[in-house]
Structure 1
């Protein structure tokens, strides 16, 4: 068993209540197998988004993706924060996510970002099913990338995503990121975010 396979096993969520196995297995690595994501798999990922729920079926999500070695990939990478650049360069595929700010009748689409999230949630589960890891990134210069790719003003860049098959070599990461990669996963307990009947201000209950 390789080091990354061992880390993948250790990163299976220690759930308080049993959930779907793919959800337990999902995590966000910073290193990936050195293997191109097949065109078929790319289409399957976006098909999962296509059938996600969206308010009034507006489907406001948009994506721009690029394979490692392409000029577009280099441009996306260049617009990430320095901390993300150090590891995102390991990904075979980079994606920019965006949403349409207004509805089809010209009103502000208050639910557009919510719908993008629903689509990405569907993509993430589909990716996990195919052994593909997704690392979502908020750290990018969205204004600069909007200009770089001539993205119309009616769309707002939201995040970037690094994708690749699980695996790779932990040694490709600098020591500080290797430590983060093997660190135990932690999440807040349900009683800090899910309240029955009334809003709990004292989240220690």
Structure 2
């Protein structure tokens, strides 16, 4: 029996009180082997579906695969090796894809932001269900676009590993284990919030 389990909760050093669903969300590389059902996935996608988007264009697209399926292996194969080494333990793998053009053929510069809001909605809904999401930039975008037959105007923007919190540190390469148990940190608000010009600090702490 495995004993070196990862913590389900990490201490989050917040400066201002926020909702527990946001405070307790983090991105593990280990997951419980508890399966995620298609119905649970549909709940997560429904949460994403109701995210705001510019002009209500909803430029997001999702590809999903449950571990053991052909689609799962196809998604895993377009990840960079670094991510394959741990993402292979996730019960579900996803790809987030955007249409970079508007229906009129103009560039949709807001599409990445809109997909981000879709994923954020999903992440909060997942947290409420005890499910963790780890989003990844490390994938072969062009290979993924061709693998899943998206048009040239589409961009595979992210991959996501999905699973219930849990798992064992031994499932993760040794050079990544410290990240699983280490403290969380973020920039202070004064580093990125400006009451006026860039680098003009306000009263935010």
| TM-score bracket for the superposition, by shorter chain length | over 0.9
Q: Counterpart in 2 of 1:113? A: 112
Q: Is the 8 A contact 2:11 2:183 kept in 1?
A: no
- Write the deviation string for residues 130-149 of structure 1: whole angstroms up to 9, x where unpaired: 11100000000011111112
Deviation at 1:12, TM superposition (A): 3.3
Q: Is the 8 A contact 1:12 1:26 kept in 2?
A: no
* Greater alpha carbon shift after TM alignment, 18-27 vs 151-160: 151-160
Q: Is the 8 A contact 1:63 1:97 kept in 2?
A: yes
Matched ranges for 1:160-171 at <5 A: 160-171=159-170
The structure 1 segments of at least 4 consecutive aligned residues displaced by more than 3 Å after TM superposition are: 2-5
1:28 and 2:5 equivalent?
Answer: no
* Greater alpha carbon shift after TM alignment, 51-60 vs 104-113: 104-113
Q: Give the whole-Å Cα distance in 1 for the aligned partners of 2:200 and 2:154.
A: 36
Q: Give the whole-Å Cα distance in 2 for the aligned partners of 1:8 and 1:166.
A: 6
- Write the deviation string for residues 42-92 of structure 1: whole angstroms up to 9, x where unpaired: 011000111100011000000100011111111111111111011000100
Q: Counterpart in 1 of 2:41? A: 42
Matched ranges for 1:1-205 at <5 A: 3-4=4-5, 7-9=7-9, 11-200=10-199
Deviation at 1:3, TM superposition (A): 4.9
Q: Is the 8 A contact 2:76 2:88 kept in 1?
A: yes
Q: Is the 8 A contact 2:98 2:115 kept in 1?
A: yes
Unaligned runs of 5+ in 1: none
SS of alignment partner, residue 8 of structure 1: coil
* Greater alpha carbon shift after TM alignment, 60-69 vs 73-82: 73-82
Q: Give the whole-Å Cα distance in 1 for the aligned partners of 2:81 and 2:98.
A: 25
TM-score normalized by the length of structure 1:
0.92
Aligned residue pairs: how many? 201
Deviation at 1:105, TM superposition (A): 1.8
Q: Give the whole-Å Cα distance in 1 for the aligned partners of 2:5 and 2:190.
A: 33
